Homo-oligomer: A and B are copies of this chain.
Amino acid sequence: MNNTPKVPIPTLERLATYFRYLADLRSMAVETISSTEVEKQTGINAAQFRKDLSYFGEFGKPGVGYNIVDLQNRIAQILRIDRDQHVIVLGAGNLGSALAGYPGLREQGFNIVAVFDASEQKIGQSLFGLAVKDIARLREENNRLQARIAVIAVPASAAQGVADLAVASGVRALMNFAPTILKVPDKIVVRNVSFLQELAVLSYHLTADAQK
């Protein structure tokens, strides 16, 4: 029984943007906002904004707009960031360490509960108050931690193995920083973050004849 009519990924991404934007408005003690005002300030088309929300219900009042606090709460519910989400970081290199210490995540309800690594030197070290754990013990540890989201921050050569281990340990969603295509079971969601891809797009647009 599936009543939500398949929400586009871009809509979910924008929802996260709205959430943050609403937090800013909230701190400025604004009460309501209209979709045209959203467009002015974020550049996201007003119809787009209304359409995005329409996948999940009715949130505004015709003639008035949207109550900021209410809307932010509803978006938090939709994205399941109204509760704390346990996240584990796999790989305690530069990137894994940076993520473990990134304050923005916890603020938004993503709670990094453990960091794992394979290196003898790193295991046991403290990283922003978290002890680095042996990745060989991921399964036992996650049995206790119950994290469903994992961040893969290991070298490309190790990424598939780590992903397999994560899936076997009950993880259902992966944020993958390794520049490699992961093979995972159908039920598992993967988001690839590729610095190389981003830079390549930028680099392409630097060329003279790529100008619009």
Contact = CB atoms under 8 A, between A and B. Distances in A.
Interface stretch (A45-53, A64-72, A158-166, A193-201): A193-201
A198 B191 contact: yes
Given A94-B101, A99-B195, A204 B148 contact: no
Interface stretch (A29-37, A103-111, A113-121, A133-141): A103-111
Interface string A123-161: 000000000000000000000000011000000100000
A58 interface: no
Interface string A157-196: 0000000000000001111000111000001010101111
Given A9-B201, A201-B9, A196 B104 contact: yes
Given A200-B15, A204-B79, A206-B80, A195 B102 contact: yes
A75 B189 CA distance: 29
Given A98-B97, A99-B195, A196-B105, A205 B4 contact: no
B13 A197 contact: yes
A208 to B, nearest CB: 10
B200 A19 contact: yes
B104 A206 contact: no
Interface string A59-96: 00000000000000000001111000101000001110
A54 interface: no
In the A-B complex, the 9 residue pairs with the closest CB atoms: A173-B202, A16-B200, A94-B98, A98-B98, A189-B205, A16-B197, A191-B198, A79-B200, A80-B203
